[in-house]
């Protein structure tokens, strides 16, 4: 059983004639493949001698520099810092598939042999527009890694920022000039980080130059002894008074620990879990470019802020969603338009500089139609028609959750204005939904493209008018929890690719690429079988990795009076 | 008394209170609720998807625009008011400030926002009792105040548009003493952005607390906002490059007990002095501080104009 690709990304390197490189994240591994012919290129961390590279990587990355970083703001006598929540190597979650159980057993054996556990799974991938760098986020350890992407597809880790992020990153993008990473987190804050940070270099000089500011403020903080900010005048209840009396008796209480903020800057924040960010450049009245940051959250807001360095100024909001938002998409050729989706039954097309809703596009009925035609036919084989009816009635209700929205520009020879194909995927739905966005800022549904398995992630290949998508082979189509019985269906492919035919204006399978991609992914999967997969998600954790967005939906809380 | 018995008693009280034409002021003891609410939890809030969809007519019936058709917007029927809400008391508690502000700002619509259901209900009952008490003597009094349940840390932009408010009151907010809980404070570097958004240039934020450390915290956050950054000193904020002026300027305030002289001077200064006296003396917590002989730490910040875009400089 091979691990599905939870993230796919296409990087096109400026100046290269070839169509760039595809970057696939499979559990803790990152594979690179050629976008030109689908050939397998490389894997990070290296598969042949994983444990060895891991340990040397530890020495380079953590042993020297990171250790110094860690030790400087912390004192030995202080309280131990909060333990990271890492999922145990032994996965307790139930899995009904025999293959998964077997895989887990063998993993346990191997992981106990090798003391070096792998990284947690990658949750986000981002690439610079120049295609030179790839940024990978692993969720459980809140680590942001920046890689150099060579034309040969080999990834070289440039930096690993583990302790900088206070909360788990939820979305990661780059500013249009490729110099800065914007990272939105679970706590609602957006931070900026330099893409190529000097943090580790300066830290080795004992933090004399670049870290001066944070260090002095750190010392200043230390010099001030802790004093409770409450007084007998501000607390009144018996319990609180007692707590205050105890605090006042403690003489040498250390000051509260400061979060080290060596290279990340807080730009803006919502009081809600952030789900996506976008960075857009518009022409100003003075014809100079203006940057904006768009951020979406779980509480139905899309905020429009000015770009760095004025990100603290809110220009407006796009309000109209009634459920959590998961994805923002701004087409490059129409930068004043925004397509957003999430837990609502529809997508919204916005004129975002004006905060105006232009269109609502129904998505739920598209999913329901597809489900009825595909699943209805399939169930006839299984049981009686009655069961099918009852089940489909229940099945019509499920809510949808948009997992990805991508825009692909289609240039036709006749007109200078490109059409934009919008590709939308939903969690646990084996389909790509395509819409056409024209010059008149009107969006129209064009097709539902049924796929073999649930689509997980999708990326576009602009210069080939193609899309590449990854699929979930572990679960049944239309289901996010039922394991797939592979025995009946035979091997399913992990990836698929489509190409847009400008003549017929339809999407077709990109056959040339597809065959090579499937072969290459088999190659990846086969080589992966021989190495420890302690970091690979299974069972419940795999489900959370692949389908984590639906859990953002609010439940009506029952005991709300006492909160 | 058992919890169930207590709840029954509360329900009975409120039912009879409503039936009796609610001219009598409600009793606080039937509306008590724990003083702290978690601003990060979802609760079960009702809020408009956008400010345009907010129906204010039930809150300010005396200000519903006459002779206008109800505007249907996205399936919701909204009756427009003659004027927008311009004053917000965030965390209004039992509504002491609202009641005091009503005659002081007769031409403004004042809204109290409170996260606790029981307390919100108390303020609603209190306002409706006051309205019926004064219906004969001065029918305009207390028509310009109202209260609703909201989590403003999350949903302030759902109620107010850009630059809609002239005054924001943040009176005796939950101090959240632990550093781990500082993100839950009503004033933070990132929330200043939302206050700046809903406040018109020239509008003011009034803060008062009896916790000195919190007072300093709020002052440093507002003063640093847009200047040394969003975060303030210990939040890893963006450091300013070439910007010296923040988005808020701290206003000089009269000493306690001397507000009267300033009020007599009139003008903007007099208005601020009048409102400062109001938050010192009229808020429920302010009265409690007076009773206990505590201290009050007041700061007022005036919002500046938005700075020019980098391309305009």
B283 annotated as a binding-site residue = yes
Using pLDDT thresholds of 50, 70 and 90, give the confidence band for residue A529: low
Best probe of the A interface among B3, B230, B242, by most A CBs < 10 A, is B230
Task: Compare all CA atoms of chain A with the CA of B184 and give the residue at the minimum distance.
Answer: A271
Question: Residue B225 above 60 pLDDT?
Answer: yes
Cβ <8 Å between A271 and B39: yes
Per-residue pLDDT, averaged over A531-547, amounts to 70
What pLDDT does residue B228 have? 61
Q: Is A288 helix (H, G, I), strand (E, B) or coil?
A: coil
Per-residue pLDDT, averaged over A42-67, amounts to 49
Per-residue pLDDT, averaged over A101-123, amounts to 52
Q: Residue holding tokens 């042949």?
A: A48
Cβ <8 Å between A234 and B210: yes
Q: How many CB atoms lie within 10 A of CB A392?
A: 15
**Is the CB of A253 inside 8 Å of chain B's CB atoms?**
no
| Element at A214 (helix H, strand E) | helix A212-223
Question: Residue B108 above 90 pLDDT?
Answer: yes
Cβ <8 Å between B229 and A312: yes
Residues in chain A, overall count: 563
Q: Residue holding tokens 């923002």?
A: A328
Q: Which residues contact A178 (CB under 8 A, 6 or more apart)?
A: A128, A129, A130, A133, A195
Cis peptide before A45 (omega within 30 of 0): yes
Phi, psi of A431 (to 5 degrees): -160, 160
Cβ <8 Å between A230 and B293: no
Name which residue leads in pLDDT, B151 or A463: B151
Q: Which two tokens stand for residue A150?
A: 């060579």
The answer to whether A158 touches A33, Cβ cutoff 8 Å, is no
A contacts of B179 (beta carbons < 8 Å):
256-257
**Residue B53, burial from CB neighbour count under 10 angstroms (0-12, 13-18, 19+):** middle
Which CA distances in Å does B39 have to A346, B157, B180, B182? 28, 16, 14, 12
Beta pairing, strands B165-171 & B85-90: parallel
Per-residue pLDDT, averaged over B152-180, amounts to 94
Q: Is residue B174 among the annotated active site residues?
A: yes
Using pLDDT thresholds of 50, 70 and 90, give the confidence band for residue A532: low
Ramachandran quadrant class, B240 (left: phi over 0; alpha: psi -120 to 50; beta: rest)? beta
Per-residue pLDDT, averaged over A296-308, amounts to 94
Q: Which residues contact B45 (CB under 8 A, 6 or more apart)?
A: B149, B150, B151, B155
B contacts of A234 (beta carbons < 8 Å):
175, 210-211, 294
Cα-based torsion angle of the residue sequence B111, B113, B114, B120 in order, rounded to the nearest 10 degrees: 40
Using pLDDT thresholds of 50, 70 and 90, give the confidence band for residue B121: very high
Beta pairing, strands A356-362 & A402-410: unpaired
Per-residue pLDDT, averaged over A137-156, amounts to 87
Task: Compare all CA atoms of chain A with the CA of B215 and give the residue at the minimum distance.
Answer: A229
pTM here is 0.83
The answer to whether A410 touches A419, Cβ cutoff 8 Å, is yes
What pLDDT does residue B9 have? 84
Chain centre distance of CA A172: 7
**Is the CB of A194 inside 8 Å of chain B's CB atoms?**
no
Cβ <8 Å between A266 and B238: yes
The answer to whether B112 touches B92, Cβ cutoff 8 Å, is yes
Mean predicted lDDT score pLDDT of chain A: 75
Q: Worst-scoring range by mean pLDDT, A225-239, A456-470, B173-187, B223-237?
A: B223-237
Using pLDDT thresholds of 50, 70 and 90, give the confidence band for residue A204: very low
Question: Residue A266 above 60 pLDDT?
Answer: yes
The answer to whether A310 touches A291, Cβ cutoff 8 Å, is no
Cβ <8 Å between A234 and B211: yes
**Is the CB of A414 inside 8 Å of chain B's CB atoms?**
no
Name which residue leads in pLDDT, A101 or A88: A88
B contacts of A231 (beta carbons < 8 Å):
211-212, 294
ipTM of the complex: 0.89
What pLDDT does residue A407 have? 94
The answer to whether B140 touches B61, Cβ cutoff 8 Å, is no
What pLDDT does residue A232 have? 74
Cβ <8 Å between B50 and A268: no
What pLDDT does residue A63 have? 34
The answer to whether A495 touches A509, Cβ cutoff 8 Å, is no
What pLDDT does residue A379 have? 46
Name which residue leads in pLDDT, B235 or B104: B104
In the β-sheet with A155-161, what is the strand arrangement from edge to edge? A122-127, A133-138, A143-149, A155-161
Q: How many CB atoms lie within 10 A of CB A367?
A: 23
pLDDT in tens, A476-489: 888 887 777 655 55
b/e A42-62 (16+ beta carbons within 10 angstroms → b): bbbbbbeebeeebeebeeebe
B contacts of A300 (beta carbons < 8 Å):
49
Q: Which residues contact B178 (CB under 8 A, 6 or more apart)?
A: none
Residues A129, A127: Cα–Cα separation, whole Å: 6
The answer to whether A220 touches A212, Cβ cutoff 8 Å, is no
**Is the CB of A187 inside 8 Å of chain B's CB atoms?**
yes
What pLDDT does residue A488 have? 57
Best probe of the B interface among A175, A231, A269, A287, by most B CBs < 10 A, is A269
Residues A135, A44: Cα–Cα separation, whole Å: 13
Question: Residue A378 above 60 pLDDT?
Answer: no
Using pLDDT thresholds of 50, 70 and 90, give the confidence band for residue A139: confident
Highest mean pLDDT among A93-107, A543-557, B282-296: B282-296
B120 annotated as a binding-site residue = no
pLDDT in tens, A9-29: 998 877 666 778 899 998 888
In the β-sheet with A189-194, what is the strand arrangement from edge to edge? A169-174, A180-185, A189-194, A265-269
Which CA distances in Å does B24 have to A82, B9, B125? 53, 18, 9
Q: Which two tokens stand for residue B11?
A: 């329900």
Q: How many CB atoms lie within 10 A of CB A36?
A: 18
B contacts of A271 (beta carbons < 8 Å):
39-40, 153-154, 190-191
Q: Which two tokens stand for residue A359?
A: 């269109």
Residues A498, A508: Cα–Cα separation, whole Å: 5
Phi, psi of A340 (to 5 degrees): -130, 150
B91 annotated as a binding-site residue = yes
Q: Which two tokens stand for residue B33?
A: 């609720």
Q: Worst-scoring range by mean pLDDT, B166-175, B235-244, B293-302?
A: B235-244
Per-residue pLDDT, averaged over B213-224, amounts to 93
What pLDDT does residue B237 have? 44
Is the four-CA dihedral A301, A481, A479, A375 of positive or negative sign? negative
- The conformation of residue A229, written as its DSSP 8-state character, comes to S
Question: Residue A389 above 80 pLDDT?
Answer: no
Cβ <8 Å between A266 and B40: no
Residues A109, A409: Cα–Cα separation, whole Å: 49
Say how many CA atoms lie within 13 Å of A542 toward its Cβ: 28
Per-residue pLDDT, averaged over B59-80, amounts to 74
Residues A113, A133: Cα–Cα separation, whole Å: 34
Cβ <8 Å between B310 and A310: yes
Q: Which two tokens stand for residue B95?
A: 């509504």
Cβ <8 Å between B309 and A270: no
Which CA distances in Å does A461 have to A146, A334, B210? 22, 18, 60
What pLDDT does residue A107 have? 40
Question: Residue A284 above 70 pLDDT?
Answer: yes
What pLDDT does residue B272 have? 92
Q: Is A134 helix (H, G, I), strand (E, B) or coil?
A: strand
Q: Which residues contact A89 (CB under 8 A, 6 or more apart)?
A: A107, A108, A111, A117, A534
Question: Residue A440 above 90 pLDDT?
Answer: no
Question: Residue A373 above 70 pLDDT?
Answer: yes
Per-residue pLDDT, averaged over A241-267, amounts to 66
Residues A519, B161: Cα–Cα separation, whole Å: 55
Q: At what angle do helices B284-292 and B267-281 cross, to 10 degrees?
A: 70
Q: Which two tokens stand for residue A249?
A: 């008796």
pLDDT in tens, A399-418: 899 999 999 988 776 666 77
Best probe of the B interface among A192, A244, A271, A291, by most B CBs < 10 A, is A271
Vertex A299, ends A296 and A301: CA angle to 5°? Answer: 40
Cβ <8 Å between A319 and B50: yes
Q: How far is A339 from chain B (nearest CA, A)?
A: 18
Using pLDDT thresholds of 50, 70 and 90, give the confidence band for residue A537: low
Beta bridge partners of A270: none
Q: Worst-scoring range by mean pLDDT, A15-29, A365-379, B87-101?
A: A365-379
Of B154, B188, B233, the CB nearest to A272: B154
Residues A547, A324: Cα–Cα separation, whole Å: 15
Nearest one of A481, A537, A552 to A87, comparing CA atoms: A537
Question: Residue A106 above 50 pLDDT?
Answer: no
Which CA distances in Å does A432 have to A39, A214, A425, A449, A508? 24, 48, 5, 5, 12
Of the candidates B174, B264, B306, B311, the residue annotated as catalytic is B174
The answer to whether A40 touches A523, Cβ cutoff 8 Å, is yes
B contacts of A301 (beta carbons < 8 Å):
157
Per-residue pLDDT, averaged over B73-95, amounts to 85
Q: Worst-scoring range by mean pLDDT, A203-207, A464-468, A540-544, B91-95?
A: A203-207
Question: Residue A425 above 90 pLDDT?
Answer: yes
A contacts of B44 (beta carbons < 8 Å):
556-557, 560
- The conformation of residue A373, written as its DSSP 8-state character, comes to H
Question: Residue A57 above 80 pLDDT?
Answer: no
Mean predicted lDDT score pLDDT of chain B: 87
pLDDT in tens, A59-95: 333 333 333 333 333 344 444 445 555 544 433 333 3
Nearest one of A60, A54, A9, A50 to A532, comparing CA atoms: A50
Q: Worst-scoring range by mean pLDDT, A131-145, B227-241, B253-267?
A: B227-241
What pLDDT does residue A483 have? 77
Question: Residue A222 above 80 pLDDT?
Answer: no
Residues A445, A466: Cα–Cα separation, whole Å: 18
Task: Compare all CA atoms of chain B with the CA of A304 and give the residue at the minimum distance.
Answer: B197
Q: Which residues contact B165 (CB under 8 A, 6 or more apart)?
A: B85, B86, B87, B88, B198, B199, B200, B203
- The conformation of residue A183, written as its DSSP 8-state character, comes to E
The answer to whether B127 touches A245, Cβ cutoff 8 Å, is no
Residues B139, B124: Cα–Cα separation, whole Å: 17
Residues A483, A5: Cα–Cα separation, whole Å: 16
Q: Worst-scoring range by mean pLDDT, A86-95, A487-496, A551-560, B267-276?
A: A86-95
| Element at A47 (helix H, strand E) | none
**Is the CB of A284 inside 8 Å of chain B's CB atoms?**
yes
B contacts of A219 (beta carbons < 8 Å):
none
Q: How many CB atoms lie within 10 A of CB B2?
A: 7
For chain A positions 322-341, those within 8 Å of chain B (CB to CB) are 322
Q: What percent of chain B has pLDDT over 70?
A: 90
Highest mean pLDDT among A62-66, A536-540, B153-157, B264-268: B153-157
């Amino acid at each position: 059983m091979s691990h599905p690709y939870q993230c796919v990304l296409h990087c096109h390197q400026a100046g290269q004639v070839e169509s760039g490189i595809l970057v696939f994240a499979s559990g803790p591994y990152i594979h690179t493949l050629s976008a030109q012919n689908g050939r397998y290129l490389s894997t990070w961390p290296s598969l042949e001698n994983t444990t060895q590279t891991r340990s040397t990587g530890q020495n380079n990355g953590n042993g020297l520099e990171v250790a110094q970083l860690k030790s400087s703001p912390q004192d030995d006598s202080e309280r131990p810092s909060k333990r990271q929540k890492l999922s145990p190597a032994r996965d307790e979650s139930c899995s009904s598939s025999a293959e998964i159980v077997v895989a887990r057993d063998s993993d346990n054996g191997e992981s106990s042999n090798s003391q070096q556990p792998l990284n947690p799974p990658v949750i986000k991938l981002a690439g610079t527009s120049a295609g030179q760098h790839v940024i990978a986020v692993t969720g459980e350890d809140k680590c942001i890694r920046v890689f150099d992407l060579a034309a040969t597809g080999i990834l070289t880790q440039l930096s690993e920022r583990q302790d900088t992020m206070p909360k788990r990153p939820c979305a990661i993008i780059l500013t249009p000039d490729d110099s800065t990473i914007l990272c939105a987190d679970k706590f609602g804050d957006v931070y900026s980080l330099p893409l190529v940070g000097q943090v580790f270099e300066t830290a080795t000089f004992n933090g004399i130059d670049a870290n001066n500011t944070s260090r002095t403020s750190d010392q200043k903080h230390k010099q001030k002894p802790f004093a409770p900010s409450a007084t007998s005048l501000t607390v009144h209840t018996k319990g609180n008074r007692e707590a205050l009396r105890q605090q006042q008796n403690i003489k040498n209480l250390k000051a509260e620990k400061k979060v080290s903020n060596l290279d990340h800057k807080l730009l803006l924040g919502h009081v809600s879990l952030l789900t996506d960010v976008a960075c857009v450049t518009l022409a100003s009245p003075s014809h100079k470019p203006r940057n904006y940051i768009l951020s979406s959250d779980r509480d139905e807001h899309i905020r429009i802020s000015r770009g760095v360095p004025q990100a603290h100024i809110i220009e407006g909001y796009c309000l109209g969603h009634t459920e959590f938002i998961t994805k923002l998409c701004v087409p490059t050729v129409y930068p004043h338009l925004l397509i957003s989706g999430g837990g609502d039954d529809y997508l919204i097309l916005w004129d975002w500089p004006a905060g105006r809703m232009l269109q609502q596009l129904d998505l739920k009925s598209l999913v329901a139609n597809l489900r009825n035609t595909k699943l209805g036919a399939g169930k006839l084989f299984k049981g009686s028609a009655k069961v099918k009816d009852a089940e489909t009635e229940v099945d019509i209700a499920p809510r949808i959750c948009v997992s990805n929205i991508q825009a692909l520009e289609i240039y036709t020879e006749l007109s200078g204005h490109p059409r934009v194909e919008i590709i939308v995927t939903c969690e646990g739905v084996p389909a790509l939904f395509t819409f056409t966005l024209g010059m008149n800022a009107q969006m129209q549904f064009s097709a539902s493209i049924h796929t073999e398995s649930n689509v997980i992630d999708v990326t576009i290949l602009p210069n080939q008018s193609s899309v590449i998508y990854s699929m979930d082979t572990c679960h049944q189509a239309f289901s996010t929890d039922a394991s797939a019985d592979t025995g009946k269906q035979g091997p399913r492919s992990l990836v698929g690719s489509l190409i847009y035919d400008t003549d017929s204006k339809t999407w077709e399978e990109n056959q040339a690429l597809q065959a090579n991609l499937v072969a290459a992914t088999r190659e990846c999967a086969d080589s992966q079988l021989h190495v420890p997969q302690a970091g690979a998600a299974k069972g419940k954790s795999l489900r959370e990795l692949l389908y984590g967005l639906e859990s953002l939906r609010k439940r009506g809380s029952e005991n709300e009076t006492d909160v | 008394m058992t919890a169930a018995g207590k709840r029954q008693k509360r329900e009975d009280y409120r039912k009879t209170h409503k039936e009796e034409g609610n001219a009598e002021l409600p009793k606080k003891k039937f509306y008590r609720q724990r003083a702290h609410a978690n601003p990060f939890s979802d609760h079960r809030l009702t809020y408009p998807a956008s400010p345009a969809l907010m129906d204010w007519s039930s809150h300010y019936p005396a200000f519903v625009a006459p002779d206008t058709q109800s505007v249907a917007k996205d399936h919701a029927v909204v009756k427009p008011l003659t004027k927008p809400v311009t004053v917000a008391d965030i965390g209004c508690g039992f509504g002491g400030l609202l009641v005091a502000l009503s005659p002081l700002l007769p031409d403004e619509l004042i809204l109290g926002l409170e996260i606790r259901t029981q307390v919100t209900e108390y303020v609603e009952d209190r306002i409706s009792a006051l309205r019926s008490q004064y219906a004969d003597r001065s029918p305009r009094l207390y028509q310009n105040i109202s209260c609703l349940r909201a989590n403003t840390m999350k949903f302030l932009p759902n109620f107010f548009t850009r630059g809609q408010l002239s005054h924001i009151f943040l009176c005796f907010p939950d101090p959240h003493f632990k550093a781990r809980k500082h993100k839950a404070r009503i004033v933070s570097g990132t929330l200043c952005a939302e206050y700046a958004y809903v406040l018109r240039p020239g509008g003011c934020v009034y803060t008062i607390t009896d916790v000195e450390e919190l007072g300093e915290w709020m002052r440093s956050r507002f003063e640093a906002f847009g200047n040394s950054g969003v975060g303030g000193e210990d939040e890893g904020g963006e450091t300013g490059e070439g910007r010296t002026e923040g988005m808020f300027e701290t206003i000089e305030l009269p000493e306690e007990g001397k507000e009267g002289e300033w009020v007599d001077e009139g003008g903007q200064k007099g208005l601020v002095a009048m409102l400062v006296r109001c938050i010192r003396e009229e808020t429920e917590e302010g009265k409690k501080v007076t009773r206990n002989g505590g201290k009050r730490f007041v700061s007022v910040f005036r919002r500046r104009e938005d700075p020019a875009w980098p391309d305009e400089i």
